[in-house]
Structure 1
């Protein structure tokens, strides 16, 4: 039975992991098992905390005071892509016996935080609250909704996020929130070389104090091992190419929860048809037949390191707008050193049939980049979202 259907037959992460191993869904890895054991210990501590909270409530009801328990330390698991971090966190999230829990992409969570902060400021302007600092009430509301927070692919790239994290999570941890997070980098490397990083550094100390930090780097990247044997640019279009794209997507997302997602950007949302960890899958029309621009493609690059793009057509002079967007998309993926897996009607140098206008000239560069992005050297050096350029706009304090 899948661990993602909310109906696991197992009580511990270790039992579910052993079941998957016995059925051939995964290969046992000593470093993964160490994280499995840590997650089971955390589940036990959280269960004890729940029982203590119930006892304290009964004690208050009958006039007895019980001593407060020490806060539960969460878990921060870091390692390179393909190590199984997401799979393990998903097992934990399903099995932890808590109703008020939340699993979210960190960027979505922070978009929610900034929205709540703005709403509090609006209430302050209308005289509906006298509390000038929005962070404590926002943290209190978040903690009341979920006191176990799970973040997959934890990364900090936005200065607006970086500037509020220390105070926000200090308040969340004071409210008893337990954090479980996965990341491609250790805490000390979050927001590395980011603007005004000194203002962010207190958050690192807070994070390390409230979580156990574990490294999951092993000898094998399980997804890369499969992808290395596959083509990343498939042509011509047809059922066989679609099958190969599906096979590559399955290899890239094994052990991950695949679902539609959105990216919040300046008061609107960019739809992501399929997402799993740092991989996303779009059609050509999703990305290039819609009114998207550089800011949208950069927002996608900030979230993902691997993009699957299905059904790239040969573009004619009549499709100049789509061609412009495709050129911009490939420029963005190239500049951010991302992995592209694509199906196309023709080879890169034959994707644009127009002969006049700047698109014809610019597409020569696009074709060259598409060819380079298929090379082993390129694929061996794909950069995680956290290692890319950070936003450089000042934050509202």
Structure 2
């Protein structure tokens, strides 16, 4: 199997986890792609080696949460030539594309120019957590991926969903179907589901999810993790907006749930938050109680009449704040921020059912992993590369 297999075995010994047959089965196609990329003649560039025949087929690795998709992506990317590959979280990529579109406003074919810029620097594009929830992003993505594939860019992505399930029940979803067909044409689809949630198996509680604690206990735990606060009761600025903050110091901050998840917030706010602080205390997390009915709202637009294939799921009264909570946890997890959480109910009871049940399963799994000693060590290692000090 080569280096990828050896690295996986070494990692299992180092982190003391049992090898998973389902993960082992996924190593073969990943290693085969690496071998194809590295295959001689080496004097030829990647593009010249693969433009004369069919372009290399990428990989779409999907499966339930906690099965090890990110672990396999980590191993795969470590084997790639760093100067010709890029690995990033999908929503970060989309944020960058939107920024580039703004910069190119008024110029002809801006997506073509963006694709040219990307393909000039990158041969292998690796995405974590490929997920589409907005029709604007769906259409933008379809056009951009078509341009990238046309230029020979290889896509390797992880997702909780098969491509056919992307943007399911989304508004005007039929307009995204050609992009799905394109993904299936250019990626080998691999299902990873060994039946084991490794996040639950590795759980070794680090006292980071507290159930209805009083303020004195929260204060003590915050100071144990982050040291004393330097500022109390003053707001901080996120993306030009003032956000209430209980207390903070140079590397840690304490927020109430309502401050971060009620009212207008965007993924950009949470990115800025995770970039600024290595430790976040989030208190007052409520029972989110999603809407459990199966209602639908059928919508038509000026260019698309209402139909059974043009509809969206009705969101419950709490689902706006739940969507923000999902985005917040995604960003804290992606950037290895240590989370101390205080909630009214257990993780299992936070969002028992509703229109957002599927994406919330990822959030639930991540909250479980973020309690673990293994995740805490990951945060410490991440902070060593910066300046944050994670204490006991």
User: In which range does the TM-score fall when normalised by the shorter chain?
Assistant: 0.5 to 0.7
| 1:344-372 deviation line (CA, Å, top 9, x unaligned) | 5xxxxxxxxxxxxxxxxxxxxxxxxx43x
8 Å contact kept, 1:89–1:182: yes
Distance 2:91 2:51 in 1: 37
Distance 2:253 2:13 in 1: 36
Corresponding residue for residue 148 of structure 1: 124
Quick one: which of 167, 170, 184 aligns to 1:194?
A: 170
SS of the equivalent of 1:53 reads: coil
User: How far apart, in 2, do the equivalents of 1:310 and 1:160 lie?
Assistant: 33
| 1:310 equivalenced with 2:310 (yes/no) | no
Q: Is the 8 A contact 2:55 2:152 kept in 1?
A: yes
Structure 1 residue 295 corresponds to structure 2 residue 276: no
Give 1:338 deviation, angstroms. Answer: 9.1
1:237 maps to which residue? 218
Greater CA deviation, 155-164 or 228-237?
A: 228-237
CA distance in 2, matches of 1:85, 1:137: 32
Structure 1 residues 39, 197: CA separation in 2 closer, same or farther (over 3 Å shift)?
Answer: same
Matches within 5 A, 1:269-348: 283-285=253-255, 294-296=263-265, 310=281, 312=283, 332-333=321-322, 342-344=340-342
- Quick one: which of 158, 166, 172 aligns to 2:148? 172
Judged with a 3 Å threshold, the aligned counterparts in structure 2 of structure 1 residues 296 and 175 are, in CA distance, closer, same or farther, namely same
Q: Secondary structure at the match of 1:34?
A: helix
Distance change (3 Å), C-alpha of 1:311 and 1:383: closer
Q: Are the equivalent residues in 2 in contact too, given 1:301–1:333 (CA < 8 A)?
A: no
State the 1:46 CA deviation.
1.1
Look at both structures and tell me which one has the larger radius of gyration over its CA atoms.
Answer: 1
Is the aligned partner of 1:95 residue 2:76? no
Q: Which runs of 5+ in 1 are unaligned?
A: 1-9, 60-65, 125-131, 247-264, 272-280, 303-307, 314-327, 345-369, 389-397
Aligned partners of 2:36 and 2:148: how far apart in 1? 18
Structure 1 residue 17 corresponds to structure 2 residue 1: no
Distance apart, 1:67 and its partner CA: 8.0
Cα distance, 1:55 vs structure 2: 9.4
1:234-287 CA-partner distances (Å, limit 9, x unpaired): 5323666888x99xxxxxxxxxxxxxxxxxx9x87999xxxxxxxxx9843397
Q: Which residue of 2 aligns with 1:53?
A: 44
Secondary structure of the equivalent of 1:99? helix
| Aligned alpha-carbon RMSD (Å) | 4.4
User: Which whole-Å CA distance do the structure 1 matches of 2:241 and 2:98 have between them?
Assistant: 15
* Equivalent-residue separation in structure 1 for 2:253 and 2:127 (angstroms): 27
| Residue in structure 1 matched with residue 23 of structure 2 by the alignment | 32
Moved more, 44-53 or 16-25: 44-53
Q: Quick one: structure 1 residues 139 and 67, their matched pair in 2 at CA, closer, same or farther if it must change by over 3 Å?
A: closer
Match 1:224 to one of 200, 208, 227: 200
SS of 2:22 mapped into structure 1: helix
| TM-score, length basis structure 1 | 0.60
1:334–1:209: structure 2 CA closer, same or farther, 3 Å change rule? closer
Q: How many residues align?
A: 289
Q: How far is the alpha carbon of 1:47 from its aligned partner?
A: 1.1
